[in-house]
Structure 1
Amino acid sequence: MEEQKKLIFKKWYSLFLMIALIITSFSTISIANTNNSKEKILLTYNFESPIIKTLEIEGLIYERITLSKCMASGKIGEPLIPSKGANILLPPNSKVCNIQVIPGERQDLGDGHIIEPMGKPIPISSVKNDITPIPNEKIYNSNEFYPGKLHSTIDDYYYRGYKILVLLLHPIQYNPTTGELFYYKNLDVEIELIESGEKNDLYRSYEKDRNEIKNKVDNPENAIKYAKESKSSMDDYELLILTSDSLKDGFNSLKEAHDEGGTPTIIKTLTDVGSSDLEDIRNYIRDAYNNWGIDYVLIGGDTNIVPAPILYVYGLDEETWPYETQMPSDLYYACLDGPYNYDGDDKWGEPTDGEGGGDVDLFADVYVGRACVGDTTEVDNFVTKTISYLSRNPDDEYLSNACFVGEYLGDHGIATWGGNYLDQLINGSSDDNYTTVGISASEYNIDKLYDRDYPGNYWPSQEIVNRIEDGFHFINHLGHSSYDYNMRLVNYDVDLLTNDNLCFIYSQGCNAGGFDEEDCIAEHFNVKTTNGAFAGIWNARYGFFWSHSTDGDSQRFQREFWDAVFGENIPEIGKANHDSKEDNIPIIGRSMIRWCYYQTNLFGDPSINILDTTGNTAPNPPNKPNGPSNGIPYIKYKFSATTIDPDEDNVYYKWDWGNGEITDWIGPFNSGDIAEESYRFNEKGSYDIKVKSKDELGAETGWSDPLTIKISFSRFNSRQNTHLRLFTLLHIFFNQIF
């Protein structure tokens, strides 16, 4: 009997030890997994089959490769192989410790190919002819594949506190000696992360910032990982006007117009800043961004009043390679993260002048424009023109007029005529490996003033004067320019303009926007009189095109600007200008891209919206979605929304599930009909579900108010799996000892 009691005691004692061991094991495994785990991001990029065409350049036969949604990224003379830009949102407080790109199925494209070399960028002021692309002999005589790697790391950047890793993917590989060419149908990108412990001071946790970042990255679902914090704000403003004490009162009527139009505006001066030092001004803008929630900054003064940052760029001119220069750039006031002169020398904006010797910040946290005014008269001119445009009736006939002004550039094959470039802005283009939406010929009256088509291949200056006087909403220009010469006009000609129908000008011409020089011609268009242009974008230094190609560096920015306005629904001119830059970040190291990135300054109020002249009215914003407010994971729930379109157009809906996942446009639905969509949440949490709509012509609403749904496990559900595993182990143990 005593022996039996001892045996039972031993069994119960063993049971106690086993339970303790099991509990300890679960805890140990949990701790080990927490301490040793490294978060990973996995993304797949798919590629269509490349298109190969034969072309002749100065008697030499080459092949040109195009690959959808890719871009030429190499250096001068290297094979022109398209690459894919990737913007990847990293979680907060993380940094990259390893990047691996895993190729998918390889598709051979044969051998014997002779791929055209990258061309040399040519200043638009150049008079040289026949600058033929020359192959890099070292690469073209090599028996190794080019580029020979699957990715290049550009850098990581911040946008409003969100961290973005920018990569360049290389799905196409080419052996110049054998002519062998192949591509991968897909590339899997695996990014391994570790915790950095860093928190970016520019993270505001605003919903508008969260919506913006989702449009900039390939993995918007990661946005949900950034905490939604409640951040106190002194006041809420959208536009900061920064000027001098003597000019401040002149901007009051513009502030009032913006306030009445729904853009809360505040005026501050350099006295409020405390100095005219560049870094102090930038820090003041940063504080306004954080404390007031501003999105736009209008610099109210010429460089002698509000100084312009002078950034260093390495490039070329007509005669010399390499060539370096410094240029005025308000980009410094827009991109607020980190330093712009890390090494402390006299060259601001070098690619190693950012935090820790990395690149400088290139994503704009605020959108900046400048009124290059020097006295109260020029302030009055600028404010009068800006308010005049803001007050325009969208039905004004002249707002439907768009003019394209192209000049002879020299004998460069397809690049001989500026008109060949500007044609890509009309109805959009998919040339040169990328697609941009343009100015629609069905919605605008298109007028072409091209040397290419004009008798004698040269239009006189009176032709552009007549068009400005007649009234054109947009004028796009590609041709020779200088500080006091643009579109074959000089400063004196611009001052004589009498047009009341003000225009917006985008010019690729050289130096016309060099506002660090004395009163460049862009200033004459914008602030010297009450006529001319209400705003515009001009180059501070050389603009650049490519010989025998329309993939010019300046061209990419002009195409992307109009794509922002008409393709990405970004009508605000300051925001559209910065979007045109950011679309080119993956190729920031290509030829003159950084040069153009720095120099394309906006002369005008950055918060102005390009007026919609189509006569189409967007649908009413949808009401808050209908659906459950509570649920559990892995169960599909149905949600519904509806809206009315004033024009009775069919409507489409896009859903934001609050976890970073946003649907494509779903529809069409009849105006007023209920649209239903089902969704399953796989993780517990609180999700804000929103919906937006657009009509069949593309007019889009903002997001609706959110419906919040709380997804949670019950106490039973949350512990069920752990208890089940524990019960299984105990069951086995009991069977063994009893």
Structure 2
Amino acid sequence: MTLLNLAKSFFRETKKAEELIQNSFFNIETIRAYLLSYSTKRNRLNNLLTQIKLSMNTQNPLNVLFSLIVIFLLSFSEVLIANEKEYPDSWGKQGFSIIKQTSTGVEINYSITAFNFTKVQINGKTMDAIELSGSYLPNNEGAPDLPGTGRLIAIPQGSNVSYNIIKSRTETFTGIDLAPAPVIPSQTETGPLKYYFSESVYTTNKFYPKNPVSTSDPNKIRGVDVIMLGITPFQYNPVTKELIVYRDLKIKIKFQNGNNQFGEDRLRSHWWDPLFEDMLFNYESLPDIDYNYTFKSNSKDYGAEYLIISPNGPEFQQWADSIRNFRTLQGILSKVVTLDDIGGNTASLIEDYINDAYNTWDIPPVAVLCLGDFGSDPSNSVTSPIWQNYCVSDNIYADVNGNDMPDIILARMCAQNATQLETMVTKFLNNERNPPTDTNYYNHPITSCLFQSGGWAQICTESLAGFYEVIQNKSTNRINVCNGTLPDVWSIAPNTAALINYFGPNGLGYIPATPAQVNCTWNGNTNDVINGINNGAFMLVHRGTGSEQGWGEPDFSNNDINALNNTNLTFIWSIDCLTGKFNLSGECFAEKFHRHTSGGNNAGALGIVAASEISYSLVSDVYAWGAFDNMWPDFMPDVITTPESKGVLPAFANVAGKYFLYQSSWPYNTANKIVIYNIFHYFGDAFSTVYYEMPQELDVSHPAWVLVGTTVFEVTANEGSLIALSVNGVLIGTGDGTGAPVLIQIPPQNPPDEILVTVTKQNYYRYEAWVPVGTGTGLMDNTAQDYINVYPNPVTDNLLIKLTKNMGTTYITISNLLSELVYENKIEVGEEKTLNINLSGYRGVYFIRIKTAKIDHAKKIIVQ
């Protein structure tokens, strides 16, 4: 075979090979980028390329290419091929799949379709490592670094759980010198990862772990009994250096002695169930729930989906009531309680009140908003618990069951006075009433990171940046920093190759094979951040180093926020240390960002997610990926599940990210994960929605008026929308838009009341319309009687409508008892005019409505 043919064979594309060979500017980096984009063994290949680059004379590019190909193919191909193991005849797809689910148990298949062996340097010694797609975090520090992960399984109330492996297939490898898992560093630590060998494992002639399958004790998540099923499809004996690979497992989990009821129906919610759908592997076992209640006029006695805890100060109560009214009209039953109602401003009293509401209210809270900064003064602050003497943590309020996992969405607005409160509340109110209409705002989201060789910060943000571009067709504004020379590889952290295989050219295509191929300069600075926000960006995600006062790289701190004049507000994800330390005696970064105004206008952050203490690398990235996937379920398709998105609600994404992390690599690294659960906080309104596309008008239709005593209201609205009906600020009914007519049960209403119809949907303008309640027995008011006369009634064939005086534009509709239109017309009325409407062919009771700018007239007519 000639060298040219060898090159063609290696690159698999004749045209590309010839182009590279003939290009006089061809260099080793071009080879590197192209080969890495096609290789599944990127770490080893990249090391090889670096060695070649250092040892060869690159003045003759043709010789470089030929030598590279010959050396690679003849000297290394056999080794590399041996390091990739594929199982094309596996029993199922990679990872977990459900075979069967019933009230008595589930059957699950777990398969490995492929995994890789790689070589790593541990304290100067070359050792083996395993990379497995779908497993991100390392094993427990010091133990053999075997990949594993978990899935949450819902079980019937009161069940005892057992499992057995029905069937399995294994393969055994010998002579494997498996590396230990590293110590997961905090985000303040720099330098290489630290490794040590757990003597209790590495000196014992036993396989680790003892079993490839494990289950947790029963637990609860918002009323649903669950267990965690963990699978580590490998066992390793460090003394004999044997590795058992469980290439396929069929597992049967039995539920015994339970009551066959999955979850507590009272705690199910339109808002929380999408989280269940994403986290529970057998979500379909949960019973169907009608989320749309028929609310009575005294609905406040039922409880509330949204609990707003207000300081006692009157200005706080007034703004709390504005939030309550806005969300209630949207269809989210909301309630305000003051610290006086709770009994005081202590963490234990507040936690007890939230727990009691969760456990006893007919409609328990889905979300809680603490409407005040951390502090002891009950007039302007709402205190927060301290977790493990380490960090301030509202997650303790959210964790009703005492397992560190949230059962409620917790939000906070760190306002200390009326001015700050008005800023924070009007930010989200104005954003949803009048969302931005600048295309640049939606087309240029910002991602920003500090390159950390021992971590995944750059993969975290660049995977989202690529998603914006590949899936959402946006142009991401990257503001990245690399201190020193940009490394040739994405990271030296364990299992990085599996991440690149998933997010990179061989997978989703969000990131290139090497960092050098990213479309940015890697020298972002303060002005880039200021200009990016001021020019318009619906979201900014930063991942790197942080402090109480801001980000380290690119340098952006509290003082720099003063330069922001963006009236189109940006939502901020600060996946860093300390930027959300809201119990600081001064003003932390998150507080400054959220309180910021410019020239009397709201500016800066719409809301922000930030950490109240020092975080950990790697686990923070997995948390972030889970949050991104909640906002956009197509970000990581088929990871756990992919439910329909309920919208970009960062407060909910914050919780989703924690549950995603909880399942990742279970049962390993529990202590690092618990820190993440407790430090990451959401600052803003709990139901605040981030618009990420240009808003559109909803297509809504419903009766223009309703008859007194009506108990059903029909609305047609876009699929996936939320429909809410209210009277005098009281919610009377809700429904889910389907694109077809939806019948909503309502209590009987009486004139002169009007029903407010409110419809909302992600990336659509909020729809609001008033519908009057009429008696149907005559004219609605004396003013209309002076202008309009409808006769005869009853009518046989022709109905006459006499319109007098200058009525202007007049709308006339006639509908049947099902609110179906049989006649509609729009006319201009100057002086007196009489309309003759032929109703022959119709029989029964109908309703006519005549509406102008000043008159809204409704009447029942009988057609004989």
Amino acid of the structure 1 residue aligned with 2:410: V
Paired position in structure 1 for 2:555: 488
Amino acid of the structure 1 residue aligned with 2:581: G
Is the aligned partner of 1:368 residue 2:414?
no
Kindly state the Cα deviation for residue 270 of structure 1 after the two structures are TM-superposed.
0.8
Paired position in structure 2 for 1:280: 349
Q: Distance in 2 between matches of 1:215 and 1:420?
A: 23
Q: Distance in 2 between matches of 1:179 and 1:618?
A: 62
Query: After superposition, what is the alpha-carbon deviation per residue over 1:500-527, rounded to whole angstroms, capped at 9, x for unaligned?
Result: 1211111222111111112211110112
Paired position in structure 2 for 1:379: 421
Amino acid of the structure 2 residue aligned with 1:164: V
Paired position in structure 2 for 1:43: 107
Paired position in structure 2 for 1:405: 448
Q: Distance in 2 between matches of 1:509 and 1:520?
A: 13
1:325-724 matched pairs, under 5 angstroms: 325-337=389-401, 354=402, 360=403, 362-364=405-407, 366-393=408-435, 395-397=437-439, 398-409=441-452, 412=453, 415=455, 418-427=457-466, 440=470, 442-452=472-482, 458-486=523-551, 487-518=554-585, 519-529=587-597, 530-545=602-617, 552-567=618-633, 568=643, 569-570=645-646, 571-586=648-663, 587=666, 590=669, 591-613=671-693
Q: 1:294 aligns with which of 353, 365, 374?
A: 365
Matched-pair contact (CA < 8 Å) for 1:469–1:498: yes
- Secondary structure of the corresponding residue to residue 181 of structure 1: strand
- Secondary structure of the corresponding residue to residue 572 of structure 2: strand
Give the total of aligned pairs. Answer: 537
Q: 1:165 aligns with which of 213, 227, 232?
A: 227
Q: Distance in 2 between matches of 1:266 and 1:230?
A: 16
Kindly state the Cα deviation for residue 141 of structure 1 after the two structures are TM-superposed.
4.2
Matched-pair contact (CA < 8 Å) for 2:116–2:132: no
Kindly state the Cα deviation for residue 56 of structure 1 after the two structures are TM-superposed.
3.6
Q: Distance in 1 between matches of 2:364 and 2:284?
A: 24
Higher relative contact order, chain-length normalized (CA < 8 Å, sep 6+):
1
Amino acid of the structure 1 residue aligned with 2:382: V
Q: Tell me whether 196-205 or 43-52 shows the greater mean CA deviation.
A: 196-205
Matched-pair contact (CA < 8 Å) for 1:89–1:164: yes
Q: 2:312 aligns with which of 234, 245, 255?
A: 245
Amino acid of the structure 2 residue aligned with 1:534: L
Paired position in structure 2 for 1:683: none
- Secondary structure of the corresponding residue to residue 175 of structure 2: coil
Matched-pair contact (CA < 8 Å) for 1:205–1:230: no
Is the aligned partner of 1:310 residue 2:353?
no
Q: Distance in 2 between matches of 1:476 and 1:224?
A: 37
Paired position in structure 2 for 1:147: 209
- Secondary structure of the corresponding residue to residue 479 of structure 2: strand
Q: Distance in 2 between matches of 1:83 and 1:131?
A: 20
Q: 1:136 aligns with which of 198, 222, 226?
A: 198
Amino acid of the structure 2 residue aligned with 1:498: N
- Secondary structure of the corresponding residue to residue 173 of structure 1: strand
Matched-pair contact (CA < 8 Å) for 1:72–1:81: no
Matched-pair contact (CA < 8 Å) for 2:145–2:178: yes
Query: After superposition, what is the alpha-carbon deviation per residue over 1:242-288, rounded to whole angstroms, capped at 9, x for unaligned?
Result: 11121211334434433444434332211121222323323333444
**Using a 3 Å threshold, how does the CA distance of structure 1 residues 333 and 202 change in structure 2: closer, same or farther?**
farther
**Using a 3 Å threshold, how does the CA distance of structure 1 residues 280 and 81 change in structure 2: closer, same or farther?**
same
Kindly state the Cα deviation for residue 553 of structure 1 after the two structures are TM-superposed.
0.9
Alpha-carbon RMSD across the aligned residues, in angstroms, is 3.9
Kindly state the Cα deviation for residue 533 of structure 1 after the two structures are TM-superposed.
0.7
1:71-110 matched pairs, under 5 angstroms: 71-72=136-137, 74-92=139-157, 94-96=158-160, 99-102=162-165, 104-108=167-171, 110=173
- Secondary structure of the corresponding residue to residue 546 of structure 2: coil
Paired position in structure 1 for 2:70: none
Kindly state the Cα deviation for residue 302 of structure 1 after the two structures are TM-superposed.
0.9
Query: After superposition, what is the alpha-carbon deviation per residue over 1:563-615, rounded to whole angstroms, capped at 9, x for unaligned?
Result: 10001414222111111111222337515111111111111112112224177
Q: Distance in 2 between matches of 1:253 and 1:505?
A: 24
**Using a 3 Å threshold, how does the CA distance of structure 1 residues 612 and 228 change in structure 2: closer, same or farther?**
closer
Is the aligned partner of 1:267 residue 2:336?
yes
**Using a 3 Å threshold, how does the CA distance of structure 1 residues 76 and 616 change in structure 2: closer, same or farther?**
farther
Q: Distance in 1 between matches of 2:181 and 2:334?
A: 47
Amino acid of the structure 2 residue aligned with 1:271: D
Q: Distance in 2 between matches of 1:615 and 1:209?
A: 25
Matched-pair contact (CA < 8 Å) for 1:89–1:162: yes
Matched-pair contact (CA < 8 Å) for 1:372–1:515: yes
Matched-pair contact (CA < 8 Å) for 1:251–1:379: no
Matched-pair contact (CA < 8 Å) for 1:439–1:562: no
Q: Distance in 1 between matches of 2:291 and 2:523?
A: 59
User: Between Structure 1 and Structure 2, whose CA radius of gyration is higher?
Assistant: 2
Is the aligned partner of 1:254 residue 2:312?
no
**Using a 3 Å threshold, how does the CA distance of structure 1 residues 384 and 224 change in structure 2: closer, same or farther?**
closer
Matched-pair contact (CA < 8 Å) for 2:306–2:368: yes
Query: Which TM-score applies when normalising by structure 1?
Result: 0.65
Kindly state the Cα deviation for residue 202 of structure 1 after the two structures are TM-superposed.
8.6
Q: Distance in 1 between matches of 2:129 and 2:200?
A: 20
Matched-pair contact (CA < 8 Å) for 2:154–2:262: no
Q: Distance in 2 between matches of 1:559 and 1:418?
A: 11
**Using a 3 Å threshold, how does the CA distance of structure 1 residues 467 and 158 change in structure 2: closer, same or farther?**
same
Q: Distance in 1 between matches of 2:653 and 2:255?
A: 33
Amino acid of the structure 2 residue aligned with 1:248: Q
Q: Distance in 1 between matches of 2:626 and 2:443?
A: 21
Kindly state the Cα deviation for residue 561 of structure 1 after the two structures are TM-superposed.
0.6
Q: Distance in 1 between matches of 2:179 and 2:696?
A: 45
Amino acid of the structure 1 residue aligned with 2:178: I
Kindly state the Cα deviation for residue 99 of structure 1 after the two structures are TM-superposed.
2.5
Gaps of 5+ in 2: 1-102, 376-380, 487-518, 634-642, 702-715, 720-738, 741-761, 765-864
Kindly state the Cα deviation for residue 173 of structure 1 after the two structures are TM-superposed.
1.8
Q: Distance in 2 between matches of 1:107 and 1:74?
A: 21
**Using a 3 Å threshold, how does the CA distance of structure 1 residues 280 and 162 change in structure 2: closer, same or farther?**
same
**Using a 3 Å threshold, how does the CA distance of structure 1 residues 199 and 144 change in structure 2: closer, same or farther?**
closer
Kindly state the Cα deviation for residue 562 of structure 1 after the two structures are TM-superposed.
0.6
**Using a 3 Å threshold, how does the CA distance of structure 1 residues 534 and 493 change in structure 2: closer, same or farther?**
same
Amino acid of the structure 2 residue aligned with 1:144: K
Kindly state the Cα deviation for residue 68 of structure 1 after the two structures are TM-superposed.
4.2
Q: Distance in 2 between matches of 1:385 and 1:188?
A: 51
**Using a 3 Å threshold, how does the CA distance of structure 1 residues 114 and 476 change in structure 2: closer, same or farther?**
farther
- Secondary structure of the corresponding residue to residue 607 of structure 2: strand
Paired position in structure 2 for 1:16: none
